[in-house]
Structure 1
Amino acid sequence: MKGLPEERAVKLAQYIIEQDATVRQAAKKFVISKSTVHKDVTQRLQQMNPQLWEQVKKVLEHNKQERHIRGGLATKEKYEILRQNKMQKSMDESLKQ
């Protein structure tokens, strides 16, 4: 996403608030780094638009409180997929025999 950093910060903030998005989700959506998203919505936005920054801050804090849950779910999903692949492989091998 090209353009002025100030405009980008506002667009990122609006996206995060409207979608209840994480920094990673916003970075992926706008094809920029997580560092850029974080800097835009914390430092730049705080100076430019304190009210919008407060709204984004609430969403980011909420996401921070839930990140351990999302991490646990991602790990659970990873190992479930591995288990399914292992079962499928063993079934394929038994059919070959």
Structure 2
Amino acid sequence: MKDYIEDRVLEIAKYIIDSKSTIRHAAKKFGVSKSTVHKDITERLPKINPKVAVEAKNILDVNKSERHIRGGKATKMKYNVSNM
């Protein structure tokens, strides 16, 4: 694996752990696709640093379990704002 990819993987993982962000937010911050972030965290990171991979995966699992709630809140806000 090339050095710049390893650096990106570690930077993205650190960002996700520190900010508890979603894959979507990390992708936007680093200017890569959601697929790239997902592959970096789930496939590449465990080979580079397994301990950090577990931390990042835990945060992504929490985000995944809460995403339906965030989506519902966003929809509610969208329609409440337009009715005013």
TM norm structure 2: 0.92
TM norm structure 1: 0.80
Q: Which residue of 2 aligns with 1:58?
A: 58
Shift of 1:81: 2.1
Q: Which residue of 2 aligns with 1:23?
A: 23
Q: CA RMSD in A?
A: 1.1
Q: Equivalent pairs: percent with the same residue?
A: 51
Q: Which residue of 2 aligns with 1:49?
A: 49
The runs of 4+ residues in structure 1 deviating greater than 6 Å are none
Q: Which residue of 1 aligns with 2:4?
A: 4
* d(CA) in 2 for partners of 1:81, 1:32: 31
User: Unaligned 5+ residue runs, structure 2?
Assistant: none
* d(CA) in 2 for partners of 1:77, 1:63: 20
Shift of 1:28: 1.0
Shift of 1:75: 0.5
Q: Higher relative contact order at CA 8 Å, sep ≥6: structure 1 or structure 2?
A: 2
Shift of 1:82: 1.9
Supply the AA of the counterpart residue of 1:25: H
Give CA-to-partner distance per residue, 1:55-96, whole Å, 9 cap, x none.
Answer: 001000010111011000010011112212xxxxxxxxxxxx
User: Unaligned 5+ residue runs, structure 1?
Assistant: 85-97
Supply the AA of the counterpart residue of 2:71: G
